[in-house]
């Protein structure tokens, strides 16, 4: 036994031992890298949770769970306006810093857009384009489609497919339920949003709101979810067995867009001229003023899919959060309703965008405050630090780092907003209201600002002004959230939300019920 033991000690077996030095060396290098990232890299001076110094996994986990908005806001509340949220990620919550980053192409979009949101079989769109020159080209081409003069030209379509259809649907429910109806306002606004984009960009009435056919809605929600996961875990989304349902929905949306473009081009060829003015036609007619280039069918397809995705969910959630806030603050609801009804006593005509914006200052303040407190887009806005790095609030951020704009944290920064957890439209009515409005980043800012924001504003004013005039709104007696349920600072508890790309109610079926009836002013 002793001889065998000594033989085992002194006999070297290279085929058994040679791998261990390699593994030990690799482990040592890995540990050294972790220690460097955590304690010696240029980002090591930036405050943040210890575990986030070593890995991006805590950040990715919160993103996958749809909690980035609340997670980043909590970190900024604890650590300040510049926070290290990953081993190579820094988050900002001061709007001046954020506008600095967003104001120039020197801070390009991050890898998640290039490797995640863009995918095989689809050309890049205005949202996914990382290359600054591609982004500039797309914006030159698309800008006229969302210009104010175009919005005025299509306002009738927006009314017919939007608030006009919504009023018909709600009136029908009120009549069916005996003068007072319980509806789900999240569903109503979401379906209406799809009908509006269907009319403007797909030349068809999806009729989701009145008929209840949610097939297109389901396709888009699957597509948005898949896009979010592609951005967060691109390696997983590329596996053929993963996300099959979502990939099938994305393929269905692509076929719908292909058919739409082919049909419009065929109609133009047969008629010899455009048949109508809508956003689809604007894309077909678009010509780059600098190069003379026009869109290819695939490029048009990519943009109308983006419009259906971004133009329906974001605006519908803005409306949802605004109604939630009004129901949670009855005094504010009463004041804005009185303003609308006093300004537009003639109920025989629809309140137009121009009339609403010029005669309803308190409604404007309500919309801005809702976008501040509960932004419909509060997902991660990722940018790359420029070549040579940058300095923000004295911190060095090297060129291999990602900078994230936390919209939720910006909008609740106590250094920028008094009583930030409280819904207070008055902050947008004072002498500095214009500056305050610029601090609301729900449409982003700078060179990549949301190109469809004018359409969103048209829908917001048209819907809110007309429903506040026509209907009395209240919460059901068993509503789980409302003015009766307060948080630790005495403000109404908000409906739980999740944020993948857009920020939406987590449980809309139970949390977004509303009692509606025709207003008592002669309707």
Q: How many CA atoms lie within 13 A of 395 on its CB side?
A: 23
Q: Do 492 and 328 touch, CB atoms closer than 8 A?
A: yes
Non-local (6+) Cβ contacts of 214 within 8 A are 191, 208
Backbone φ and ψ for 485, nearest 5 degrees, come out as -115, 105
Non-local (6+) Cβ contacts of 469 within 8 A are 337, 340, 341, 344, 347, 351, 519
**Exposed e or buried b per residue across 323-334, where buried means at least 16 C-beta atoms within 10 angstroms of its C-beta:** bbbbbbbeebbe
Non-local (6+) Cβ contacts of 341 within 8 A are 468, 469, 519, 521
CA distance 467 to 459: 12
* 450 marked among binding-site residues: yes
Q: Do 189 and 195 touch, CB atoms closer than 8 A?
A: no
Backbone φ and ψ for 484, nearest 5 degrees, come out as -85, -15
User: Tokens at residue 133, please?
Assistant: 């020159």
Q: Do 366 and 426 touch, CB atoms closer than 8 A?
A: no
Backbone φ and ψ for 274, nearest 5 degrees, come out as -60, 140
Q: Mapping DSSP to helix (H, G, I), strand (E, B) and coil, where does residue 49 land?
A: coil
Beta bridge partners of 497: 505
Q: Mapping DSSP to helix (H, G, I), strand (E, B) and coil, where does residue 388 land?
A: coil
CA distance 487 to 511: 17
Q: How many CA atoms lie within 13 A of 408 on its CB side?
A: 22
Alpha carbon separation from 510 to 320, 324, 421, 436, 491 (Å, rounded): 14, 13, 24, 34, 21
CA distance 337 to 363: 9
CA distance 71 to 325: 22
Class of residue 467 by CB neighbours under 10 A (exposed 0-12, middle 13-18, buried 19+): buried
* End-to-end Cα separation, the chain, in angstroms: 102
User: Tokens at residue 187, please?
Assistant: 């569903």
Strands 513-518 and 181-184: antiparallel
Positive or negative, the Cα torsion across 89, 94, 100, 102?
positive
Q: Which residues are annotated as a binding site?
A: 450
Output the known binding site for heme.
450
């Amino acid at each position: 036994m002793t001889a065998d033991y000594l033989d085992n000690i002194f006999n070297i077996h290279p085929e058994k031992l040679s791998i261990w030095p390699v593994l030990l060396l690799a482990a040592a290098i890995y540990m050294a890298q972790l220690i460097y990232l955590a304690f010696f890299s240029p980002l090591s001076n930036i405050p943040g949770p210890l575990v986030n110094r070593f890995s991006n996994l805590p950040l990715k986990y919160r993103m996958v769970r749809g909690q980035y908005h609340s997670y980043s806001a909590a970190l900024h509340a604890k650590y300040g306006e510049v926070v290290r949220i990953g081993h190579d990620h820094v988050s900002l919550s001061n709007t001046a810093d954020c506008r600095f980053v967003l104001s120039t192409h020197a801070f390009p979009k991050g890898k998640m857009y290039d490797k995640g949101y863009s995918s095989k079989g689809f050309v890049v769109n205005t949202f996914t384009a990382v290359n600054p020159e591609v982004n500039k080209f797309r914006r030159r081409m698309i800008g006229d489609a969302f210009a104010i003069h175009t919005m005025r030209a299509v306002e009738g379509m927006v009314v017919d497919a939007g608030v006009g259809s919504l009023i018909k649907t709600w009136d029908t429910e009120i009549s069916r339920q005996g003068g007072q109806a319980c509806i789900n306002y999240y569903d109503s606004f979401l379906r209406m949003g799809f009908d509006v984009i269907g009319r403007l960009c797909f030349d068809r009435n999806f009729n989701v709101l009145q008929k209840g056919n949610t097939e297109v809605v389901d396709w888009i929600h699957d597509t948005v979810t898949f896009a979010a996961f592609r951005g967060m875990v691109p390696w997983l989304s590329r596996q053929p067995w993963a996300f099959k349902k979502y990939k099938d929905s994305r393929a269905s949306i692509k076929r719908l867009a292909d058919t739409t473009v082919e049909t419009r081009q065929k109609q133009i060829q047969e008629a010899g001229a455009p048949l109508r003015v809508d956003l689809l036609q604007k894309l077909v007619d678009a010509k780059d003023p600098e190069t003379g280039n026009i869109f290819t069918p695939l490029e048009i397809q990519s943009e109308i899919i983006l419009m259906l995705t971004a133009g329906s969910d974001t605006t519908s959630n803005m409306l949802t959060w605004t109604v939630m806030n009004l129901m949670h603050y009855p005094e504010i609801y009463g004041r804005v309703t009185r303003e609308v009804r006093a300004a537009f006593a003639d109920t025989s005509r629809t309140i137009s965008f121009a009339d609403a914006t010029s005669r309803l200052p308190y409604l404007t303040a309500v919309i801005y405050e809702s976008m501040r407190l509960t932004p419909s887009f509060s997902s991660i806005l990722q940018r790359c630090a420029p070549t040579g790095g940058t300095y923000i609030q004295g911190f060095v951020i090297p060129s291999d780092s990602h900078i994230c704009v936390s919209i939720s944290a910006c909008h609740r920064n106590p250094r920028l907003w008094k009583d930030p957890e409280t819904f207070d439209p008055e902050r947008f009515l004072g002498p500095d209201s214009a500056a305050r409005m610029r601090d609301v980043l729900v449409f982003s800012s700078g060179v990549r600002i949301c190109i469809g924001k004018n359409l969103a504003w048209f829908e917001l004013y048209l819907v809110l002004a007309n429903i506040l005039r026509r209907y009395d709104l209240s919460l059901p007696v068993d509503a789980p959230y409302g003015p009766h349920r307060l948080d630790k600072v005495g403000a109404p508890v908000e409906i739980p939300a999740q944020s993948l790309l857009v920020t939406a109610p987590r449980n809309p079926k139970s949390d977004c019920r509303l009692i509606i009836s025709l207003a008592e002013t002669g309707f």
